[in-house]
């Protein structure tokens, strides 16, 4: 197979994997709360900054074992971002559980701005781009090791999400709360605990996507969460908000559009998002509920 074609296919799969991890968070939170968490991308992008700060601290503890320090820093970043997700729910989003959807939407947009500015203010020279290290080096079966790691890890995380949601008690509780909170409460389920766990899960999975995004790009900026969040949300919209399968399809579709444009257009990297959002507009015009979403009928 042509090496250039392999590179394009690998790039498509890597971008699709990263966008899937972010889009799943949008679909999970929308399916549970019926709320579009527009600050999800910004919350996820906290992870690379936590990882960089943690890496500097751990390098002094483990000496020359840089890979061990990096893995430990990534784990701390994912955990910390999950806790930030819980904090976002407790401080802001929970206050709009029973409010009109527009109020929660505006609140999460404002929350995303606050998160970005806090990262810029707290992190040293936070306005400047930061170099982010590759997670792994070398090759696997003749392919670069990092793209293979991103793809395999993302597939494993998605599989674990399916098992969690469909085969475990906590998954049953999440689906029960999403279906009817009042009935779930009568059955001895505490919705607020389910909300906290779901925000932690969605934010932690999004954090993994943001870490892969930063490592794939080799650099991270405080405002990368805007782009990552818009793409993840667009993937969820194309596939159907609330559908995990739809989020995966939407992410692969967007990554495919990006890869094709970059491979076949002069300066395609500058125009790839134009075609992505044209696809989103087309989908909203043709099938507003998304590829796998179900139309919602409301009485008026």
Q: Identify the CA nearest to 193 among candidates 172, 174, 168.
A: 174
Tokens of 237: 């919209």
Rounded to 5 degrees, φ, ψ at 220 are -140, 145
Task: Determine the Cα–Cα distance for residues 221 and 29; give it in Å rounded to an integer.
Answer: 25
Task: Determine the Cα–Cα distance for residues 53 and 51; give it in Å rounded to an integer.
Answer: 5
Beta strands in the chain (DSSP E): 130-131, 139-140, 143-144, 219-220
The half-sphere exposure of 274 on its side-chain side, counting CA atoms within 13 A, is 8
Task: Determine the Cα–Cα distance for residues 174 and 195; give it in Å rounded to an integer.
Answer: 8
Task: Determine the Cα–Cα distance for residues 184 and 130; give it in Å rounded to an integer.
Answer: 45
pTM exceeding the 0.85 threshold for the entire prediction: yes
SS3 143: strand
Query: Which position has the token pair 């955990």?
Result: 79
By the 8 A CB rule, do 257 and 279 touch? yes
Task: Determine the Cα–Cα distance for residues 34 and 44; give it in Å rounded to an integer.
Answer: 20
Instruction: Tell me the pairing of strands 130-131 and 219-220.
Output: antiparallel
**CB-based burial label for 136 (10 Å; 0-12, 13-18, 19+):** middle
**CB within 8 A of 217, min separation 6: which ones?**
132
**CB-based burial label for 139 (10 Å; 0-12, 13-18, 19+):** exposed
pLDDT (tens place) for every residue of the chain, 300 residues total:
567 778 888 889 999 999 999 999 888 888 777 778 889 999 999 999 999 999 988 877 755 457 888 899 999 999 999 999 999 999 988 888 777 778 888 899 999 999 999 999 999 888 899 999 988 888 877 788 999 999 999 999 999 999 998 899 998 998 888 888 888 898 888 988 999 999 999 999 999 999 999 999 999 999 899 999 999 999 998 988 888 888 999 999 999 999 888 888 777 777 888 888 898 899 889 888 888 876 554 444
């Amino acid at each position: 197979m042509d090496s250039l074609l392999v590179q394009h296919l690998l790039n498509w799969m890597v971008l699709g994997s990263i966008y899937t991890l972010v889009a799943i968070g949008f679909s999970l939170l929308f399916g549970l709360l019926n709320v579009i968490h527009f600050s999800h991308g910004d919350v996820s992008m906290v992870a690379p900054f936590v990882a960089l700060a943690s890496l500097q601290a751990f390098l002094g503890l483990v000496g020359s074992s840089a890979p061990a320090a990096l893995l430990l820093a990534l784990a701390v970043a994912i955990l910390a971002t999950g806790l930030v997700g819980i904090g976002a729910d407790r401080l802001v989003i929970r206050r709009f559980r029973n409010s009109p959807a527009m109020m929660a939407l505006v609140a999460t947009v404002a929350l995303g701005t606050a998160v970005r500015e806090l990262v810029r203010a707290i992190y040293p020279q936070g306005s400047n781009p930061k170099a982010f290290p590759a997670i792994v080096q070398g090759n696997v079966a003749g392919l670069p090791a990092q793209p293979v790691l991103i793809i395999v890890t993302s597939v494993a995380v998605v599989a674990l999400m399916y098992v969690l949601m469909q085969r475990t008690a906590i998954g049953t509780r999440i689906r029960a709360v999403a279906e009817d909170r009042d009935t779930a409460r009568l059955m001895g389920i505490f919705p607020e605990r389910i909300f906290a766990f779901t925000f932690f899960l969605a934010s932690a999975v999004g954090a993994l996507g943001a870490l892969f995004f930063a490592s794939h790009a080799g650099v991270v900026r405080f405002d990368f969460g805007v782009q990552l969040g818009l793409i993840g949300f667009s993937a969820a919209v194309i596939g159907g908000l609330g559908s995990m399968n739809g989020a995966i399809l939407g992410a692969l579709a967007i990554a495919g559009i990006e890869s094709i444009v970059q491979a076949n257009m002069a300066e395609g990297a500058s125009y790839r998002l134009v075609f992505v959002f044209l696809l989103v507009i087309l989908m909203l015009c043709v099938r507003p509920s998304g590829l796998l979403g179900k139309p919602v009928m409301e009485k008026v």
